[in-house]
A and B are shown apart, each in its own frame.
Chain A
Amino acid sequence: MHPAYSVIFFTSASGAGYALLALLGLFGALGVLPADPVLGVVGFGIGFAAVTAGLISSTFHLGHPERAWRAFSQWRSSWLSREGVLSLATFVPSGLLAICWVFFAQVPAVLAILTVLFALATISATAMIYAGLKPVQRWANAYVLPNYLLLGFASGATALALIAAIVLPYHLGTIALDWAAIIGLGFSALGKLAYWRFIDRSRSVATPESATGLGSIGKVRLFAAPHTEENYLLKEMGYKVARKHALKLRLVALGVGFTLPMLLILLATALGGWAAAVLLALAMLGNAIGTLTERWLFFAEARHTVTLYYGSEAA
């Protein structure tokens, strides 16, 4: 599948942003983080900036961005529409929570819980857009939803740990955030390994034989394509560029995106202070590079059943 840069940025940034909002709500409500106004301004500010940038970038690949408002209408059937509705709805409890946090130094439990629920629902809706596409077996499986949640959690927790280390360098709660980030990164790595193991060992139920119905005659292969040049279907669904680098890119995602940040954060917990902030900043950078790489691979490695009509032996 063709990896549109705007969609890769959107799913990575909004995943991190919504997870950051959810974690602020969670740790605020649990009392791990104090309702410190500076933490509130920076934390919610970065969270809102990430999700807003993501949402705006998601309209860049549209043929008619000016009609994007119509996408809020079909939430009864469409995960893309549900994602749109939930992404905006999350602003209500999280916005109110931010106001209470910054101006009244309070974390009302109801708003915190609603922020967590809406943020998780938004990330889940993003995942379900892909997990619901039956023609792409590498997306329509049980690994995709937990992976989106875990990767969002890891990025959001790393960002929050960095913010807390800068704003509240000697607060005990930052250690809890460090460990949340380490656990999130660890489970993200495991989730990705499980996903890659799954896609390497399984194939779509659809085959060239079932796609043409000619299997009763024998093995089916393409003799002549419909056109001499590439068409829309091949450009969009038959994307093959740099698949040969998949293994190296997986190692980049795993090493730079998850393992290295885990080690850096572990070191940060031992050092504390400004050294910790620097290490956490490096961890966040690594995680961002790894997440974008992983998201690019998620598209580039996905195969669509339409390629069965163009000579692919499996989808």
Chain B
Amino acid sequence: MTSLPAATPKKLGLVIDLDVCVGCHACAVNCKEWNSGGHAAPLSDFDAYGAKPDGVWFNRIHTFEAGEGSAGRTVHFPKSCMHCETPACVTVCPTGASFKRAADGIVLVDEEKCIGCKLCSWACPYGAREFDQAEGVMKKCTLCIDRIYNETLDERDRVPACVAACPVGARHFGDLGDAESPVSQLVAEREGYGLMPELGYAPVNKYLPPRPSQARAGCTGAQPLPDEDVAPSSGFLRWVDRLLSR
């Protein structure tokens, strides 16, 4: 059913800390690894070892520069499905293959119903949906529904593969519909934001901005040596200095 649920009790999503991300691509690699055997498997690759490798990825890491000179920043920027509150990718679907789950707000594709018309990928402003050429259907981030509810995994592992892989703790998973949840607290504290709010998709995933760069610390050790000669201020040497300065 491609009509959207009026409201979802939970809004599961990701919070990505741009201040911490080091751009190592571990999240994207683990995403590919897990999902190649998970709910949306396989994530087809073409020419994987050739000159022009191509394939389906649910998570891609861009690197941007913002600002100029010493005020400028280099920011690593992972991007995957935002699990929007009003996802047009779902409403444009003619077949009912795309849907937003009423229970937790996760946006999914029923691959059995997908006709591969690609309209949903056009309707997503963020580029979250990727067409699987080999299977002829659209695929996307499932927020690892096969991990987060998976009772065969240890409880600490019931997070999306990207979150589990992040070596620096830049990715957080939780219920963004619950103001008391750790992820919501983090967003409130760090003034987290959604991408392209002007398009009105109301993305659930939030990004935490890079912290302002710290002011240069002052010198705390020995005073530096003066660059120029210093004239002796008294006595014999002052007399010699004045004599030689003539």
Chain A interface (Cβ within 8 Å of chain B)? 1, 61-65, 67-68, 70-74, 76-81, 84, 129, 132-136, 205-206, 208, 210-227, 229-233, 236-237, 304-306, 309-310
Known: A74-B95, A217-B75. 4 other contacts (CB 8 A): A74-B94, A135-B122, A219-B67, A232-B121
Contacts of A206 in B (CB 8 A): 125, 196, 198-199
Q: B195 near A211 (CB under 8 angstroms)?
A: yes
Can you name the residue of chain A whose Cβ is closest to the Cβ of B119?
A80
Q: At the interface with chain A, which of B131-139, B147-155, B177-185, B224-232?
A: B131-139
Partner among B122, B135, B199 whose Cβ is within 8 Å of the Cβ of A237: B122
Q: How far is the CA of A79 from the CA of B193 in the complex (A)?
A: 31
Q: B71 near A218 (CB under 8 angstroms)?
A: yes
Q: A231 near B195 (CB under 8 angstroms)?
A: no
Can you name the residue of chain A whose Cβ is closest to the Cβ of B201?
A134
Contacts of B26 in A (CB 8 A): none
Instruction: Looking at the assembled complex, report how far the CB atom of A210 sits from the nearest CB atom of chain B, in whole angstroms.
Output: 5
Q: Provide the B124-166 mask, 1 if CB < 8 A to any CB of A, else 0.
A: 1111001111011110000000000000000000000000000
Enumerate B18-69 residues with CB–CB distance to A below 8 Å: 18, 23, 28, 52-57, 60-68
Contacts of A136 in B (CB 8 A): 122
Q: B72 near A218 (CB under 8 angstroms)?
A: yes
Contacts of B127 in A (CB 8 A): 233, 237, 306, 309
Instruction: Looking at the assembled complex, report how far the CB atom of A91 sits from the nearest CB atom of chain B, in whole angstroms.
Output: 19
Q: How far is the CA of A229 from the CA of B53 in the complex (A)?
A: 7
Q: How far is the CA of A172 from the CA of B74 in the complex (A)?
A: 73
Q: A212 near B199 (CB under 8 angstroms)?
A: no
4 residue pairs, one from A and one from B, having the closest CB atoms: A63-B116, A63-B136, A218-B67, A306-B127
Q: What is the interface of chain B mostly: helix, strand, loop, or mixed?
A: loop
Partner among B2, B61, B65, B197 whose Cβ is within 8 Å of the Cβ of A220: B65
Q: Does B91 contact A (CB under 8 A)?
A: yes
Q: B123 near A218 (CB under 8 angstroms)?
A: no
Q: How far is the CA of A213 from the CA of B79 in the complex (A)?
A: 13
Partner among B3, B57, B97, B199 whose Cβ is within 8 Å of the Cβ of A76: B3
Contacts of A70 in B (CB 8 A): 94-97, 113, 115
Can you name the residue of chain A whose Cβ is closest to the Cβ of B206?
A213
Q: Does B209 contact A (CB under 8 A)?
A: yes
With contact pairs A78-B92, A79-B92 given, residues A218 and B122 touching in the complex (Cβ less than 8 Å): no
Q: How far is the CA of A218 from the CA of B62 in the complex (A)?
A: 17
Q: How far is the CA of A230 from the CA of B137 in the complex (A)?
A: 19
Q: A68 near B131 (CB under 8 angstroms)?
A: no
Partner among A62, A133, A218 whose Cβ is within 8 Å of the Cβ of B117: A62
Interface size class of B (residues with CB under 8 A): 35 or more
Q: B117 near A71 (CB under 8 angstroms)?
A: yes
Partner among A78, A220, A309 whose Cβ is within 8 Å of the Cβ of B91: A78
Q: B65 near A236 (CB under 8 angstroms)?
A: no
Contacts of B131 in A (CB 8 A): 63, 232, 236
Partner among A64, A219, A224, A231 whose Cβ is within 8 Å of the Cβ of B130: A231
Contacts of A223 in B (CB 8 A): 63-65, 74
Q: Does B207 contact A (CB under 8 A)?
A: yes
Instruction: Looking at the assembled complex, report how far the CB atom of B60 sits from the nearest CB atom of chain A, in whole angstroms.
Output: 4
Contacts of B197 in A (CB 8 A): 210
With contact pairs A70-B96, A133-B123 given, residues A213 and B209 touching in the complex (Cβ less than 8 Å): yes
Q: B66 near A220 (CB under 8 angstroms)?
A: yes
Instruction: Looking at the assembled complex, report how far the CB atom of A212 sits from the nearest CB atom of chain B, in whole angstroms.
Output: 6
Q: A213 near B119 (CB under 8 angstroms)?
A: no
Q: How far is the CA of A43 from the CA of B28 in the complex (A)?
A: 57
Q: How far is the CA of A189 from the CA of B1 in the complex (A)?
A: 40
With contact pairs A212-B66, A224-B62 given, residues A65 and B199 touching in the complex (Cβ less than 8 Å): no
Contacts of B196 in A (CB 8 A): 206, 210-211, 305
Q: How far is the CA of A80 from the CA of B133 in the complex (A)?
A: 21
Contacts of A63 in B (CB 8 A): 114-118, 131-132, 135-138
Q: A73 near B198 (CB under 8 angstroms)?
A: no
Q: How far is the CA of A304 from the CA of B88 in the complex (A)?
A: 14
